[in-house]
A and B are shown apart, each in its own frame.
Chain A
Amino acid sequence: MRRSFIAVAVALMLATPAHAQQPTANDLFWAKQRENEARRLMVQKKTSEACKKFAESYERVADVRILLDLAACHEKEGKTATAYAKYKQARDIAGQDKNLYWRKVRTRTADARIAALEPKLSRLTITVPADAPGDLAVERDKTAVKKDEIGVAVPVDPGEHEISASASGRKPWRTTIAVAARGESKLVAVPQLEPEAGASTVVAEPPPSPASPATKPRPTVPEEHRAEKAQQPEPTKPRAALYTRTGFAAYLSDARTMGGVGGGFGVRFPIGAWPFLQLDASYLFMIGNVAHVRVGGGVERPGIYSPAATLLVSTFVGTGLRFLTVDHPVPIPGPAAAVGLHLAPLRFRKGGTHASLLEGGFGVGSDFPGLGLLYEATLLEVGTSF
C-alpha cells in the first residue's frame, strides 16, 4: 500500500508541469483520492458529483490530465460552455509541456473537443444602455461580466442564468433568463437603472482643499480601483443623427395614386437609449412630383446591430394620378396622409455613422371617405451623428 502510494506520487510529479509552488506528497495523495472518487462516481453515472471531485483534485494539484478529465466531465454533464472553457485552458497548459509526446497528445485531444463543442455552444449577449452610469457593475450568475464581454455573444451553459446590474445611487436590477442547449443565442438588455429614492445621480465633488480643515476626508479608494475607473470609457450619450435615404413610397386609394421613387434627408433625435423622434423629407417621381414628408417616433436597439421600428405619419404633397369616383367626382386636391409602421431590420451603427438596408413600411390613411394604403421601402439609408 505504501509503495503504491509512493509510485503514484512520483508518477503525478512527473506528469505535472513545473509550477511555482510544487505540490507536497500530501497534496498529491489528497488529489489522487479525489480523482479515484470521481472516476468511481462517473461509473455510477453520478456525473455532477464526479465533476466536483475532479475540480477539487485539480484545485489541489494543477494537473492538466485532470483538467482534461474535468472538461470531459462537464461536457457529459451538459455544461457545454464550462467544458469549452476548460478544454481551452487545458490546451493552453498542455501547449507549454516540455514533454513533446504529452504536449502533442493533450493539445490534440483538447483541440478535437473544442472543435466538436463550438457549434453546440449556447450564447448569451448582455447589452447596457449607451448612457449607463460609469460605475455600472453587471454580473452573470454572481460573476462579474467584464467590460469587453458587454455586447458580445458569450458562451454559456444551457439552463437558467441570473443577470444583475448595480450602480451607485441606482436601484439594483436583476433578471433570469433560460438558455436552451444546442446553439441557442439569447439577448439580455440591461435597462437604464432607476435612481434610488432621495439619491442624486450626479454627485458633484468639491475640489480637494488642504487649506480647509473643515472639509471631510474623502473615503479612500484603492489605487487599482482608481486606475480601473480611469480606464472606463465615458458613457456614450445619445446623439442626433442626420441621414440620407433612397427608396420607394406610394399612397394608393380609389381616388388617387401618389408617390414614386426618390430620396431625401432626415434627422433623428434620440430621447433615451431606445426611443427617438424622426423627421425626414424626400422628393419622389415616376408617378408625379411629390414631396414626401414623414414625422414620427420609434425605438432603436442600442449597439452595432440596431434594428428599429418607427410609427410615422407620412404626407404626400404634390401631383399624382387621380381617379374620379362617386365619392370624389372632381380630382382630389391637397396632400395625402397616412399613418404607418416602418421597420428597419438591417440597421447597423458603428461609431458616429449608421447604415440601413431594405427597410419596409405599411400604413393606412383616408381620402374621407375611402381607405388609402401606404407602401414604403427604403433601399438604403446612411447617416452620421452629431
Chain B
Amino acid sequence: MRSVFFLAVAVNAAACTTGSPLENANLAGLRELAAEIDAGRSMEDVQALVDSHAADEVLDCTQIDFDQEQYCHLSHLAARALVRTKLEDAGLEVTSQAVADGVFSTEVLTAEIPGVANDGRVVLVGAHYDALWMGADDNSSGVAAMLELARVLSVRKFDKTIRFVAFDLEETGIVGSFRYVERLEDKGAIVATVVFDCVGFTDRRPGGQKGLAGFPVPDTGDFLAVIANDQSAQLASDVWALNEELGITKLGVVVAPGTGLTPLSKNLLRSDHVPFWLADIPALQLTDTADFRNPNYHEPTDTIDTLDPEFLRQTIAMSASAIGYWAGGPR
C-alpha cells in the first residue's frame, strides 16, 4: 500500500523536473515582437469592425431552423470585406474558400507570410469575423488581434509559414472552420494553431469571473484563458514558459484530456479550434472566457466601450511571441 503511494509520489516528482521548453528561442526577438503590438491600432480595428457590423445587413434568420432569436442579429458580409482589405493593407495576398449553402454559405479568408525554410510547415492564426449584434468582444477583438499580428509579423521573416485565417459563421455552429479543416490539404503540415475568440474583456472585481465545476478558476476576470488538449499540450506549455520569461500577462491554462471531447470539458469546445482538435491538429483557443466573465456576451450591449485595450494588447503581444517562437523566428 505504501509502495503504491510512493510510486505515485516519485512519478509526480519526476514531472516537476521537466526542463524549460524554450531552449532555442530568440527571446530578444520575441520580446521586440511583443513590444511592437499597439493597443491603439487594435482598438481602431475593433471600432471599424463594430461599425461594419452595425451597418451590415443581418442574416435571413427566417431560413434558419434554430429556435433562437439571436441569429436574427448575425452579420458577416461587411466584416468579411473589411478583413480582406486590412490583410491586403498588410501586404498579404488574400485567398478565399467559399462554400455555397444558402443562408449558411461561408467564405473563409486566408493570407500567408511564407516561411523562409520553405519546408511547408505552417503556424495558423485564426478568428471568426461573423458576430451577433455589434460583437465588440465576440469577436471583433479576436479579429483585431489577428489583423495586428498580420501587420507586425508580415514585416519579419520566419522559418515556417504563418497563415492567417478569418473564419465565417462560427456563431451558427462553427460552420466555416469545420469546412475549412475538412478541405485542408496540408493538415499534417500545421505545427500550431491559435484561435482568438473573445479576447478583449476583463472584470477585475472580486466575483467578476464565474467558476466552473472541476476548474480552479480565479475569482477575478483578469486573466487570458488558454485552452488546449493533449495534442496541443506542448503549445500550452510553450505559452506558459514564454509568458513567464517575458512577463506579459496573467494566464489561466487548461489542458483537456485526449481530443478534448469529454462531458466535463464541453465548455472548452465552443469555438473554431474544435475542428482542428478533431483532425488531430494541435490548436489553442485564447479567450477571456466569454459569458463566464462578460455579461454582454451575445447581447446588444457588446460594445467597444466595454473592452479593456490593455488586456487586448497583452493578449496580442503574448500571441505574437508564441507564434514567432513556433514559426522559428523572427529572423
Residues of chain A at the chain B interface (Cβ within 8 Å): 250, 252-254, 257, 260, 285-289, 293, 295-296, 313, 315, 318-324, 326-337, 339, 366-368
Contacts and interface: CB of A to CB of B under 8 A. Distances in A.
Nearest to A288: B257
Contact of B11 (A320, A335, A366): A335
B66 interface: no
A334 B257 contact: no
Contacts of A321: 214-215, 254-257, 264-265
A315 B11 CA distance: 12
B262 A288 contact: yes
B13 A337 contact: no
Contacts of A318: 257
A260 B254 contact: no
A366 B255 CA distance: 19
A313 B7 CA distance: 12
Given A295-B1, A315-B8, A257 B214 contact: yes
A331 B16 contact: no
B15 A333 contact: yes
Contacts of B12: 332, 334-336, 366-368
A329 B255 contact: no
A332 B257 CA distance: 12
Interface in B189-244: 214-216, 230, 233, 236-237, 240-241, 244
Given A286-B262, A287-B263, A319-B257, 18 more contacts: A250-B214, A287-B214, A287-B264, A295-B1, A296-B1, A313-B4, A322-B233, A324-B255, A329-B241, A330-B15, A330-B21, A330-B237, A332-B15, A336-B12, A337-B5, A337-B9, A366-B9, A368-B13
Contacts of B236: 324, 331
Residue among A322, A333, A367 with the highest chain B CB neighbour number at 10 A = A322
Interface string B1-30: 100110111011111101001000000000
B4 A252 contact: no
10 contacts: A287-B214, A293-B4, A315-B4, A319-B258, A324-B251, A330-B18, A332-B15, A335-B11, A335-B12, A368-B12
B37 interface: no
A171 to B, nearest CB: 33
Contacts of B252: 323
Interface of B: 1, 4-5, 7-9, 11-16, 18, 21, 214-216, 230, 233, 236-237, 240-241, 244, 251-258, 262-265
A322 B15 contact: no
A326 B247 CA distance: 13
Contacts of A322: 233, 254-255, 257
B5 A313 contact: yes
Contacts of A313: 1, 4-5
Contact of A324 (B13, B14, B253): B253
B9 A331 contact: no
Given A254-B216, A287-B214, A324-B253, A368 B237 contact: no
B214 A337 contact: no
Contacts of B263: 285-287
Nearest to B268: A321
Nearest to B217: A323
B11 A329 contact: no
Closest 8 pairs between A and B when the two form their complex, measured CB to CB: A334-B11, A288-B257, A319-B257, A337-B8, A324-B253, A322-B255, A257-B214, A330-B237
Nearest to B237: A330
Contacts of B4: 293, 295, 313, 315, 337
B180 to A, nearest CB: 28
A337 B237 CA distance: 23
A353 B313 CA distance: 65
A328 to B, nearest CB: 7
Contacts of A333: 11, 15
Nearest to B263: A286
Contacts of B237: 324, 329-331
A252 B13 contact: no
Residue picked from A250, A253, A296, A324, most chain B C-beta under 10 Å:
A324
B273 to A, nearest CB: 16
Nearest to B9: A368
B79 to A, nearest CB: 33
A285 B237 CA distance: 25
Contacts of B265: 287, 321
Contact of B16 (A253, A295, A368): A368
A179 B233 CA distance: 64
A335 B13 CA distance: 11
Contacts of A367: 12
A60 to B, nearest CB: 68
Contacts of B254: 321-323
Contacts of A368: 9, 12-13, 16
A1 B230 CA distance: 109
Contacts of A293: 4
A318 B244 CA distance: 28
Contacts of B18: 330
Nearest to A257: B214
A169 B7 CA distance: 47
Nearest to B238: A330
A323 B237 CA distance: 10
A139 B9 CA distance: 53
A295 B72 CA distance: 57
A51 B16 CA distance: 80
B172 to A, nearest CB: 28
Nearest to A336: B8
A326 B1 CA distance: 31
A144 B21 CA distance: 78
Contacts of B255: 321-324, 331
A285 B261 CA distance: 11
Contacts of B215: 257, 321, 323
Given A319-B257, A321-B214, A335 B1 contact: no
B267 to A, nearest CB: 11
Given A252-B214, A333-B15, A289 B5 contact: no
